[in-house]
Amino acid sequence: MKKGLSRWARDWEVRAVGSGTSAIHTALDYFRRDGGKVMTAAYNWPGAVGAISFSGMEPDFVDVDLELAAIDQTTACQRLSVDTRVVLITHLFGSNISAPHLRAASRERGALILDDVSQSISAAGVLDGDKTLDSDALALSANGAKHLGAGEP
């Protein structure tokens, strides 16, 4: 399973864990050097927010883009600081959140990017031509109800 998923996701390293929330915990545990803040949308899964606290990092909530039900990348870009260690981008309801300006600004400031694609697994694949998400880690879930509810095949 891990090898097949890795091939599908363009040779990402894959770790199989019990849930998408566990995947977020695992990534944040890996990223948590020296604490810092995790920027994320104010509208998010409580398990994702809990993972931030458990990692010893501090959540930094940003307004939501109402059309995408995702982090507002303009506001997030303005709020990025030297204390921002990770930007957690949650792809809700089948939406693929490309957020190119936020990704570029995060890279410029040295913040890591974690994408929670548990409700939009297609975001882990090819998005534009042969490009994939510019991300340091993806959190996925094999819970089929999430994908059916989000309209994904």
CATH number, domain of 41, equals 3.40.640.10
Confirm whether 87 is domain-assigned.
yes
Confirm whether 135 is domain-assigned.
yes
C-alpha 14/C-alpha 30 separation (Å) is: 14
Confirm whether 8 is domain-assigned.
no
Confirm whether 13 is domain-assigned.
no
Confirm whether 84 is domain-assigned.
yes
Confirm whether 76 is domain-assigned.
yes
Confirm whether 1 is domain-assigned.
no
Residue pair 108/132 in contact (Cβ under 8 Å)? The answer is: no
pLDDT at residue 60, as a whole number: 95
C-alpha 143/C-alpha 55 separation (Å) is: 24
% of the chain residues with pLDDT over 90: 31
Confirm whether 66 is domain-assigned.
yes
Q: What is the mean pLDDT of residues 75-84?
A: 95
- Return the higher-pLDDT residue of 121 and 49: 49
With CA atoms as reference, report the closest residue to 97 among 136, 69, 63, 126: 69
Q: Is 150 exposed, middle or buried (0-12, 13-18, 19+ CB in 10 A)?
A: middle
Q: Residue 135 is part of which domain span? A: 18-149
pLDDT mean across residues, the chain? 80
**Whole-prediction pTM:** 0.83
pLDDT at residue 101, as a whole number: 94
CA distances from 72 to 1, 13, 17, 78, 107 (A): 34, 29, 29, 10, 17
Q: pLDDT digits over 95-114, tens only?
A: 777 889 999 999 999 999 98
> 128-137 — which CB contacts under 8 Å span 24+ positions?
128/98, 132/9, 132/10, 133/98, 134/103, 134/107, 135/89, 135/103, 136/27, 136/31, 136/112, 137/23, 137/27, 137/30, 137/31, 137/112, 137/113
Q: State the total domains in the chain.
A: 1
